């Protein structure tokens, strides 16, 4: 390396270090700054020969993590020391014992929580999840572990462009699936939005760039609109002597894309592209009434949408977030979201969980922002109850007996990202539940036995089943019966971990009871036919019935699948002959399979060669069976991602498919680069469209005419429903590529009476949407 470049890099490193020292002013004393310098020197020397994939010195990464910890989380000197040292034990020769000796037990414990587990006995998902699990469990000991990890992940996402494509997909999916929800749950909304945007940038670059360019191209007109919109509000607030600050902010790219996808509207029709935030300077005692006063001023000027009022002041979110949200109609006919909060509330919104934790610690490295601390004090008791409940739920999941780690990850994610509702007991006690929680979830939240015996409830004096989904404001009276038994189908609609765990435990108890009763029945039958109820005879029966596990045998007897007659037959001369000839069965099975081999093989080849050009190209995937995922039905031209199912089969998903995002987060090492061949003119792919409009005469004929005659498309299924003059249809059809599909959709939209045509993944997805 030439000296000029070396000097340039050294100056850059020193500038970052000086930035850290400047940001520590007011929140670290001289002794703590000396420790920070010591940590910097150690990290600098430990990483001296290391470089990142970008080519820059590795030390820049821990420096940037420390800056994020200071700038976006408002933490102090101890956290900076840990941020600087967070990779030393993992990537260098230093040990935890070294860190303990030089910086003390507190710092060493945090570094231990941040150090990845290097090996586990199971698959890759185990290693991936075990690291995330370790961090979450450490959070209850010292929250700075998870805060520094979030900062670490944020900087890694900012520099992800230098990683290979497969690594980008894995890290982006993992971030979107686990870390963005975690940032959301801890109240770091800016970090959460940036993580989501960066994940989308690498998962769906086409959509990301499209929205980014749209935002840039409309920036000038948007700023002019905001200026005109806030002017009368400013004048009214000044006349009332209210101290305030008004800022306008554009929504994140990912959230805009979510709105476009969910509502199936173009960029221009997303009405809440930006929000106006009014931050008022008022003492803690009067902040609630002051916010409502400002709300009154705003709604006197602009007409509000009553259905869009969100009062997070009277009922703060679980992470302590407080704000008043309303949507009003501007004078140009556009809806605008307005957020009203005090300075203290804004501090909580910006610093999230860190603001609460900093206040609680009351150590010398805390922020000098006294107003933020006062706000925390005002809501500390409620907040701590919420966060402790959340931490308890997370620990219960992570320390539970869940055998399927994929299910465990999904349950952790649900606890991280679920929106909340507020419901009440008949006596008026308030309970916070996750969105889509059911009566059954509520019953288990109150008491385990109440859930086990729940047969329904009265919700607002209306009788409903246990599966009824609750809404904010509902008052619930659970109805029970001692005759009720827990059913396996309850797991399909229960939402909370507590409910699912209790249901699983109750089902296991029921299963053990059935096993014991089946065992007693077998003993009774054997005694009846003078057969000794010993292990040898039990094994004979298992052999005869082709059951491998004794528990399954007892359950089959209890359920009546193995009858008394079958048991009698087993110990008769017929049963003896069956057991004698059993060793020959594998040979017979082999011959049967041999004769079927050619038929099965031909069937497989016919299926694979039906459209020989519908193939995917990727690195090292030629001659591999490729399966189109039925959850999203990608077609030629869609941005796709593939997952290795085995050594000779891959499954192809659209990149924005929710199932693909989960698979990427769980099985990051199975990602395969994939793209469409350019020579697939005659290929056909299954796709779906949903059509809505007014039921005019000849409407169905016009739709099918365009599909069959104009576009020469074959349909697999057509489902049509009409009600009170309205028409809804779902059509699954075979098309050539995404351009072909988009042209068909554009043509169908021109039919008189058609209001909406959109692409769907499947008919069943459409039905689920309707149920919701």
Picking from 391, 395, 382, the residue whose alpha carbon sits closest to that of residue 317 is 382
Contact call for residues 251 and 272 (beta carbons, < 8 A): yes
Strand partners for 672: 642
Alpha-carbon distance of 390 to 497, in angstroms, equals: 11
Per the annotation, the verdict on 728 as an active-site residue is no
DSSP β-ladder status, 625-628 and 640-646: unpaired
The set of residues, in sequence order, having a beta carbon less than 8 Å from that of 299 and lying 6+ positions away, is 326, 328
Phi and psi at residue 420, in whole multiples of 5°? -115, 150
Which residue out of 90, 235, 488, 755 is catalytically annotated? 90
Edge-first strand order for the sheet with 462-464 is: 462-464, 454-459, 476-480
Q: Is 678 exposed, middle or buried (0-12, 13-18, 19+ CB in 10 A)?
A: exposed
Kindly state the helix (H) or strand (E) to which residue 454 belongs, with its residue range: strand 454-459
Three-state DSSP class for residue 94: coil
DSSP β-ladder status, 649-654 and 625-628: parallel
Q: What is the DSSP string of 287-331?
A: HHHHHHHHHHHHHHHSEE-GGG-EETTTS--TT----EEEEEE-T
Alpha-carbon distance of 751 to 409, in angstroms, equals: 46
Contact call for residues 84 and 90 (beta carbons, < 8 A): no
First to last CA, the chain: 61
Alpha-carbon distance of 640 to 674, in angstroms, equals: 7
Phi and psi at residue 675, in whole multiples of 5°? -150, 165
Three-state DSSP class for residue 456: strand
What is the number of alpha carbons within 13 Å of residue 277 lying toward its C-beta?
16
SS (H, E, C) 669-696: HHEECCEECCCCCCCCEEEEEEEEEECC
Picking from 538, 540, 565, the residue whose alpha carbon sits closest to that of residue 550 is 538
Alpha-carbon distance of 78 to 221, in angstroms, equals: 45
Largest CA distance in the chain: 103
SS (H, E, C) 25-93: CCCCCHHHHHHHHHHHHHHHHHCCCCECCCCCECCHHHHHHHHHHHHCCCCCHHHHHHHHHCCHHHHCC
Strand partners for 654: 640
Alpha-carbon distance of 670 to 447, in angstroms, equals: 42
Alpha-carbon distance of 158 to 191, in angstroms, equals: 11
Per the annotation, the verdict on 91 as an active-site residue is yes
Contact call for residues 730 and 690 (beta carbons, < 8 A): yes
Contact call for residues 374 and 344 (beta carbons, < 8 A): yes
Which residue out of 9, 19, 56, 91 is catalytically annotated? 91
Phi and psi at residue 336, in whole multiples of 5°? -135, 130
SS (H, E, C) 587-649: HHHHHHHHHHHHHHHHHHHHHHCCCCCCCEECCCCCCCEEEECCCCCCCCCCCEEEEEEECCE
Alpha-carbon distance of 338 to 586, in angstroms, equals: 73
Picking from 75, 82, 126, 80, the residue whose alpha carbon sits closest to that of residue 104 is 82
Strand partners for 616: 676
Active site residues: 90-91
């Amino acid at each position: 390396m030439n000296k000029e470049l070396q000097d340039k890099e050294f100056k850059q490193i020193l500038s970052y270090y000086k930035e850290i020292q400047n940001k520590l002013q007011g929140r670290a004393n001289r002794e703590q700054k000396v420790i920070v310098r010591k940590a910097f020197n150690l990290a600098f020397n430990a990483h001296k020969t290391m470089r990142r994939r970008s080519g820059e010195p590795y030390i820049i990464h821990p420096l940037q993590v420390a800056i994020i910890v200071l700038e976006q989380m408002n933490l102090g000197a101890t956290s900076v020391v840990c941020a600087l040292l967070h990779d030393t034990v993992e990537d260098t020769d230093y040990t935890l014992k070294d860190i303990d000796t030089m910086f003390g037990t507190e710092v060493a414990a945090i570094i231990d929580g941040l150090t990845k587990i290097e090996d586990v006995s199971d698959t890759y998902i185990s290693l991936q999840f075990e690291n995330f699990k370790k961090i979450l469990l450490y959070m209850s000991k010292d929250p700075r572990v998870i805060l520094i990890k979030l900062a670490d992940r944020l900087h890694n996402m900012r520099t992800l462009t230098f990683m290979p494509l497969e690594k980008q997909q894995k890290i982006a999916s993992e971030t979107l699936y686990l870390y963005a929800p975690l940032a959301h749950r801890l109240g770091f909304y800016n970090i959460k939005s940036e993580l989501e945007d960066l994940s989308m940038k690498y998962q769906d670059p086409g959509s990301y760039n499209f929205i980014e360019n749209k935002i840039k191209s409309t920036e000038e007109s948007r700023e002019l609109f905001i200026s005109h919109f806030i002017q009368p509000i400013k004048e009214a607030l000044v006349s009332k002597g209210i101290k305030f600050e008004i800022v306008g902010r554009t929504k994140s790219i990912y959230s805009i894309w979510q709105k476009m996808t969910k509502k199936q509207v173009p960029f221009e029709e997303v009405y809440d592209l930006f929000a106006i935030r009014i931050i008022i300077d008022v003492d803690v005692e009067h902040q609630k009434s002051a916010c409502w006063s400002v709300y009154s001023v705003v709604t006197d000027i602009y007409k509000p949408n009553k259905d869009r009022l969100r009062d997070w002041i009277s009922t703060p979110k679980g992470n302590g977030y407080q704000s008043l949200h309303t949507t009003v109609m501007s004078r140009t006919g556009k809806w605008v979201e307005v957020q009203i909060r005090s300075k203290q509330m804004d501090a909580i919104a910006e610093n999230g969980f860190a603001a609460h934790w900093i206040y609680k610690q009351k150590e010398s490295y805390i922020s000098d922002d006294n107003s933020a601390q006062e706000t925390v004090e005002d809501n500390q008791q409620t907040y701590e109850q919420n966060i402790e409940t959340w931490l308890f739920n997370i620990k219960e999941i992570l320390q539970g007996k869940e055998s399927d780690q994929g299910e465990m990850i999904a349950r952790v994610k649900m606890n991280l990202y679920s929106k909340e509702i507020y419901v009440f007991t008949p006596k008026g006690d308030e309970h916070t539940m996750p969105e889509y929680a059911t009566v059954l979830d509520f019953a288990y939240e109150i008491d385990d036995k109440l859930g086990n015996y729940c047969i329904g409830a009265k919700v607002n004096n209306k009788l409903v089943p246990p599966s009824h989904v609750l809404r904010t404001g509902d008052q619930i009276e659970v109805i029970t019966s001692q005759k009720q038994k827990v059913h396996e189908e309850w797991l399909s609609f229960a939402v909370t971990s507590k409910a699912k765990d209790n249901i699983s435990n109750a089902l296991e108890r029921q299963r053990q009871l059935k096993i014991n009763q089946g065992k007693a029945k077998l003993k009774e039958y054997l005694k009846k036919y003078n057969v000794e109820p010993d292990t040898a005879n039990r094994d004979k029966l298992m052999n005869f019935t082709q059951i491998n596990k004794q528990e399954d045998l007892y359950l089959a007897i209890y359920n009546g699948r193995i009858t008394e007659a079958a048991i009698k037959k087993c110990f008769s001369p017929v049963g003896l002959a069956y057991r004698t000839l059993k060793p020959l069965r594998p040979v017979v099975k082999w011959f049967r399979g041999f004769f079927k081999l050619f038929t099965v093989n031909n069937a497989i080849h016919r299926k694979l060669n039906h459209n020989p050009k519908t193939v995917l190209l990727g690195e090292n995937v030629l001659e591999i069976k490729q399966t189109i995922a039925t959850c999203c039905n990608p077609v030629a031209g869609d941005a796709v991602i593939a997952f290795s199912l085995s050594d000779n089969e891959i499954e192809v998903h659209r990149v924005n498919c929710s199932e693909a995002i989960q698979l990427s987060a769980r099985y990051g090492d199975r990602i395969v680069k994939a793209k469409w061949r350019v020579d697939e003119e005659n290929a056909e792919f299954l796709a779906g469209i949903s059509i809505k409009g007014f039921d005019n005469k000849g409407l169905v004929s016009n739709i099918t005419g365009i599909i069959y005659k104009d576009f020469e498309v074959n349909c697999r299924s057509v489902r049509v429903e009409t009600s009170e003059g309205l028409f809804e249809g779902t059509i699954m059809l075979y098309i050539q590529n995404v351009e072909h599909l988009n042209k068909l959709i554009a043509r169908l939209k021109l039919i008189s009476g058609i209001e909406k045509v959109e692409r769907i993944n499947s008919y069943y997805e459409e039905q689920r949407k309707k149920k919701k």
